[in-house]
Structure 1
Amino acid sequence: MSNILIAYATSEGQTAKISKVLSQQLQSSGHRVELIELESHHPGLDVQRFDAVIVAASVHAGRHQKSAVRFATHHAEALRSKTTALVSVGLAVVATEEAGRQRADEQVSAFLEQVGWQPDLIEKLGGAFRYSQFSKFKRWLFRLSQRLFRKDLDRQGWPDLTADNELTDWAELRRFGNEFAARL
C-alpha cells in the first residue's frame, strides 16, 4: 500500500477535521498516512519519501492560507512528480447560485497558478463557521451582514450567519477519498 502525506492548513479547525476523517478513511484502506499541520511545517520535510500527497487548505477572504501557499510553492517540483490532490475548504462552494460556485473555482485556479502545481484531483468542500466562537467584533460584523444582505444570502442559499454551521458534505469527502485511493 501507499505512503500518503496529508498536509493541511486550518484556522478554525474544519480543515483539520476534514483531513483527519480523510486520513482515517485512507488508513482503513490499508494506506499509511502522515498528517502535518502546515503552520508548524518546516521546509526540511522530505516530500519525496511519500508516494502521494494531499494538500488541504481553507479559504479566508478569497484566498487559500499562506502556509499552504508556502508549502506548495516550496515543494512544487516534488508534487508534480507524485499522485496529488488539493482539497479546498471554503464557504463559496456551498452557494446555490452559479456565481458563488464560480468564485470557488477562481479561488482554486488562483492558488494553483500562484504555486505552479496542477494536482491530479481537486476537491472543493464546504467548511464551517462557528458563530459562537467569534469575537464580539466578528459577531457584530456577521449580524450586520445578515441584516444588510439577507435577500442576497437567501437567494444564494446561505444559512443563517448568526448560528454555528457545518457545511461539509461528508459523503462527498468519502467519494473523493475512494477516488484518490483508486489512483494509487
Structure 2
Amino acid sequence: MSRLVLLYMGCEGQTQKITERIGYCLSESGHDTVVSSIEDLKDDFSLESFDGVILGCSIRYGKHHRECYQFIEKYRDQLATIPSYFFSVNLTARKPERRDPHNNRYLQKFLKQISWTPDRVEVFAGALLYTRYRWVDKQMIRLIMKLTGGPTDVTQNTEFTDWRRVKAFAEQLNQDFGKISRPVATYGRQRVENGSAMNVC
C-alpha cells in the first residue's frame, strides 16, 4: 500500500481530531500513515519519502492560517510530484449548502491564492468551542454566530463535524492510494506524532 503523511493546522483541536480520524481510517486500510501538526515539522522535513500528502487547515475570521500558506509555498515543488489533497475546516460548512467545496467561498478563495492545485478537496464543518476561546475571540465569534444564525451561548460547545463525510473522504483517499504499491512492512502501521487516533473509523 502507500506511505502517507497527514498534516494539519488549527487552533482548538478540531482540525487535528478530523486529521487523526482520516489517518486512522487509512491505517486500518493498510496504509502507513504519519500525522503531524505543520508547526511541529522539523526544518529538514521532506515529502520525498511519501507516496501522498493530505493537508487540513481551519479558518479564523474568514482566513486559513498563515502557517498553511507558508507550508504550501515552501513545499510547492514537492507537492506537485505526488498525489496531494486538501480539506478546509470551517463553521460555515455547518450549513448544508456550504459543505459543497464548489460553494464554499473560503475554500474557493484559498485555492485562488495558493501556488498548488490539490488532486481533491473537501470541506468539513468544525466545532464551536466557546469555552476554549480567549475572551476577545469569544465575543467576536459570538457576534458572528448571532449574525449568521448560529449558537450564541458562550457556556456551551457545539460540534458540527459530520463524521460520515469524514469517513467517506477517507474511503475515497483509500481508493486513490490503493493504486499505489509499496510494502507496508517497511514502515510499520501508524505513527501519530501529535495526539492519538482515538476515534474508530
TM-score, length of structure 2 as denominator length: 0.78
**Contact kept? 2:3, 2:33, Cα under 8 Å:** yes
Number of the residue aligned with 1:71:
71
2:182 matches 1:183 = no
Superimposed CA distance per residue, residues 99-150 of structure 1 (whole angstroms, 9 cap, x where no aligned partner): x968963322232232211111111000112112233333444555566x3x
Number of the residue aligned with 1:166:
159
Tell me the CA shift for residue 79 of structure 1.
Answer: 1.2
**Contact kept? 1:72, 1:117, Cα under 8 Å:** yes
**Contact kept? 1:92, 1:101, Cα under 8 Å:** no
What residue identity is the alignment partner of 1:112? L
What residue identity is the alignment partner of 2:40? S
Give every structure 1 segment of 4 or more consecutive aligned residues whose post-TM-superposition deviation is greater than 4 Å. 100-104, 142-147
Bigger shift: 109-118 or 174-183?
Answer: 109-118
Number of the residue aligned with 1:91:
91
Whole-angstrom CA distance in 1 between matches of 2:53 and 2:86: 9
Give me the identity figure in percent: 25
Number of the residue aligned with 2:59:
59
**Contact kept? 1:112, 1:118, Cα under 8 Å:** yes
Bigger shift: 36-45 or 168-177?
Answer: 36-45
Whole-angstrom CA distance in 1 between matches of 2:76 and 2:66: 15
**Contact kept? 2:101, 2:121, Cα under 8 Å:** no
* Root mean square deviation of aligned Cα: 2.2
The number of aligned residues is 175
Whole-angstrom CA distance in 1 between matches of 2:67 and 2:49: 21
What residue identity is the alignment partner of 2:152? L
What residue identity is the alignment partner of 1:81? T
Question: 1 or 2, which has the higher helix percentage?
Answer: 1
Whole-angstrom CA distance in 1 between matches of 2:2 and 2:97: 39
Number of the residue aligned with 1:126:
125
What residue identity is the alignment partner of 2:44? G
Gaps of 5+ in 1: none
Bigger shift: 121-130 or 88-97?
Answer: 88-97
Q: What are the within-5 Å matches in structure 2 for residues 1-184 of structure 1? A: 1-96=1-96, 105-144=104-143, 149=147, 152-153=148-149, 158=150, 160-162=151-153, 163-184=156-177
TM-score, length of structure 1 as denominator length: 0.85
1:38–1:53 Cα change, 3 Å = same
Superimposed CA distance per residue, residues 149-178 of structure 1 (whole angstroms, 9 cap, x where no aligned partner): 3xx51xxxx3x1322111111000000000
1:30–1:68 Cα change, 3 Å = same
Superimposed CA distance per residue, residues 72-115 of structure 1 (whole angstroms, 9 cap, x where no aligned partner): 111112112211110100111122566x9689633222322322
**Contact kept? 2:53, 2:84, Cα under 8 Å:** yes
1:94–1:7 Cα change, 3 Å = same
**Contact kept? 2:100, 2:123, Cα under 8 Å:** no
- SS state of the match for residue 108, structure 2? helix
